[in-house]
Amino acid sequence: MANQGRNIHRPILVLFILSTALSFLIQNGAVYTTFTVYYPDSNLNGQKIYLRGDNCNLTWNKGVLLNRTATNQWQAALLCGDNATISVKALLNDTTWMFGGNKVFKGGDRNVDIYPSFNPSANKIVDKSNVASKILNNTRKCSIYYPPSYFENTLKKYEVLIMHDGQNLFNNSQAAFGTAWLIQNTINQLTSEGRMR
């Protein structure tokens, strides 16, 4: 009979400890955030993906190995500060940093998606001739700029920036007065600094 009395209190003690831990986490504003890194498996060549950062029990000195959870996906659920601005970065084999700026998000986000590029090539500019315009009732040539990471991480979706006077954007030989704006240099710089996606 004496043993039965002690066993009755054990579940209550466990519940008390769990509720105390949960209360501590809520009071200190910590929530679990799921980080998902999307990167083509075909580019990994047996390498693994790690995460470093300034919160969520991460450091900038040593990465946390993510789990491969599906084709082209690596994940980890980490406890993060609720009201902080948090920066993270993905790495290959914890040695090769992703290109561009840190992934920055507000603490409290439950899901953070990262589409890294690790080995970007040079940007590419492609001229498309005979693009039809119903409004102008003619065809035009369009120049399309592809950022350095475009052909490496094919899972990433890109926003579109449309600029007029395309002949003046990229190439001096096509510019109206022989001097182009060389906008690709500005875009490449802003992208490498993380100020443009």
Question: Rounded to the nearest 10 degrees, how much is the dihedral formed by the CA atoms of 168, 172, 177, 179?
Answer: 90
pLDDT (average), residues 153-173: 88
Separation of first and last alpha carbons in the chain: 68
Give domain limits for the chain.
Answer: 27-114, 124-192
Distance CA 109, CA 52 (A): 17
CB-count burial class (<10 Å; 0-12, 13-18, 19+) for 33: buried
Model-level pTM?
0.76
Question: Which superfamily does CATH assign the domain made up of 27-114 to?
Answer: Immunoglobulins (2.60.40.10)
Helix or strand (DSSP H, E) at 141: strand 138-146
Q: Is the pLDDT of residue 88 over 90?
A: yes
Query: Which pair of structure tokens corresponds to residue 87?
Result: 């920066």
Q: Is the pLDDT of residue 128 over 80?
A: yes
Query: Which pair of structure tokens corresponds to residue 121?
Result: 């090539």
pLDDT score at 82: 80
pLDDT (average), residues 90-118: 92
